[in-house]
């Protein structure tokens, strides 16, 4: 055990596979451990040993425990591990995955996932629950519409229109709804109300997070960043200094274009859609909302967004504004400066007077 310098760990519910090598990369041990034996085995490793694992359920839990024991715990995104599996796609198993994780961790240019704190993961639980409840609410509404349509009752598409007519339809004795169907729809209506109450509870927790966290409160000042987006960004990212610059943060969110460039010719496509899908969705939805009223504001960002919408179209302008907001968020929190809607960027080495007005 004293020879081990790097360990690759493939996590699972009950069995954890470890692949340990020495300073020269020579295999020392590759074996499976029961979940309750894993920390006991790690305690025998040399101090500050590098222990890498793939980003998955429980990865942050184990990483926090290993850091508490003063190990160099690191998490690697799954898509960065796959190329190091020597057996390829057809040779995927726990042992090969652990070896691939160990090899990937040795790369000097490898990018690692920042370990989330307990408070970060706790707040993200609220967001995950809220998203799940939204899907359940949509399914419940569609179920009610489908049941009513079977008896010739069709209402406008908006949930508010359905809610406003639902009670009257249940009580109306002149329609074709049989007694059992009325009871079923009444029960579905109660389920809808219950889901709304749960979502309202989640919104209250998010509002409390904004009130208590200065960073989250500061994020809401940006155009197109509301309480839900601000809370999710702070809970997900934590330390913005893990990114080199705002462009890297935007690329991490999947808001930058795909590239198929060669021979000095740049070919850019649609956005990569890599990274956190939830954050990307919130930023783009917020940007779309901001675009609706951008022409009413005179700040440079609103005017730029409105002009881009007129020039390039609604969707491209929304994605561009979402990417700009991502860059601004990085600049605000990585540099520790307050957000200024009228700030004008100056390129390094160029006098401010020589810069054209925006």
List strand residue ranges (DSSP E) for the chain, in order. Answer: 6-10, 15-21, 27-34, 50-54, 72-76, 257-259, 268-271
List strand residue ranges (DSSP E) for 148-225, in order. Answer: none
pLDDT, one tens digit for every residue, the chain (358 residues): 789 999 999 999 899 999 999 999 999 999 999 999 999 999 999 989 999 999 998 999 999 999 999 999 999 999 999 999 988 888 889 999 999 999 999 999 999 999 999 999 999 999 999 999 999 999 999 999 999 999 999 999 899 999 999 999 999 988 889 999 999 999 999 999 999 999 999 999 999 999 999 999 999 999 899 999 999 999 999 889 999 999 999 999 999 888 888 888 888 888 888 888 999 999 999 999 999 999 998 888 999 999 999 999 999 999 999 999 999 999 999 988 888 877 776 666 656 554 444 3
Cβ distance 241 to 334 under 8 Å? yes
Provide the CB-side half-sphere exposure for 24 (13 A, CA).
Answer: 4
Q: Which residue has the tokens 């920042």?
A: 114
Cβ distance 322 to 280 under 8 Å? yes
In this prediction, residue 351 carries a pLDDT of: 60
Number of Cβ atoms within 10 Å of the Cβ of 193: 11
Q: Which residue has the tokens 């930023």?
A: 283
């Amino acid at each position: 055990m004293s020879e081990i310098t790097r360990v690759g760990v493939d996590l699972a519910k009950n069995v954890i596979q470890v692949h340990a090598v020495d300073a020269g990369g020579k295999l020392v041990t590759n074996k499976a451990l029961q979940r309750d034996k894993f920390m006991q085995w790690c305690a025998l490793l040399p101090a500050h040993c590098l222990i890498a694992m793939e980003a998955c359920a429980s990865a942050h839990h184990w990483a926090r425990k290993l850091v508490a024991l003063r190990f160099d715990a690191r998490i690697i995104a799954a898509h960065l591990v796959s190329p190091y599996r020597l057996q390829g796609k057809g040779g995927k198993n726990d042992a090969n995955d652990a070896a691939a994780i160990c090899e990937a961790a040795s790369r000097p240019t490898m990018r690692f996932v920042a370990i989330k704190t307990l408070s970060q993961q706790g707040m993200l639980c609220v967001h995950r629950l809220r998203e799940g409840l939204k899907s359940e609410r949509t399914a419940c509404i569609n179920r009610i519409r489908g049941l009513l349509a079977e008896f010739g009752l069709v209402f406008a598409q908006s949930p508010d229109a359905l809610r406003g007519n639902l009670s009257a339809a249940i009580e109306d004795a002149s329609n074709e709804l049989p007694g059992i169907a009325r009871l079923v729809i009444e029960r579905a209506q109660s389920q809808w109300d219950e889901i709304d109450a749960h979502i309202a509870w989640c919104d209250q927790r998010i509002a409390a997070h904004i009130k208590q966290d200065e960073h989250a409160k500061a994020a809401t000042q940006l155009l197109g960043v509301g309480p839900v987006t601000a809370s999710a960004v702070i809970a997900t990212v934590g330390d913005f200094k893990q990114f080199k610059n705002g462009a890297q943060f935007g690329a991490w969110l999947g808001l930058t274009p795909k590239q198929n460039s060669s021979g000095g010719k740049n070919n850019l496509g649609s956005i990569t859609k890599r990274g956190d899908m939830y954050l990307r969705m919130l930023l783009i939805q917020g940007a779309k909302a901001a675009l609706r009223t951008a022409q009413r504001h005179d700040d440079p960002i609103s005017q730029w967004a409105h002009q881009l919408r007129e020039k390039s179209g609604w969707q491209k302008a929304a994605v561009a504004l979402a990417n700009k907001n991502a860059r601004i968020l990085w600049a605000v929190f990585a540099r520790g400066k307050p957000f200024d809607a009228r700030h004008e960027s100056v390129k390094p080495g160029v006098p401010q007077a020589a810069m054209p007005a925006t």
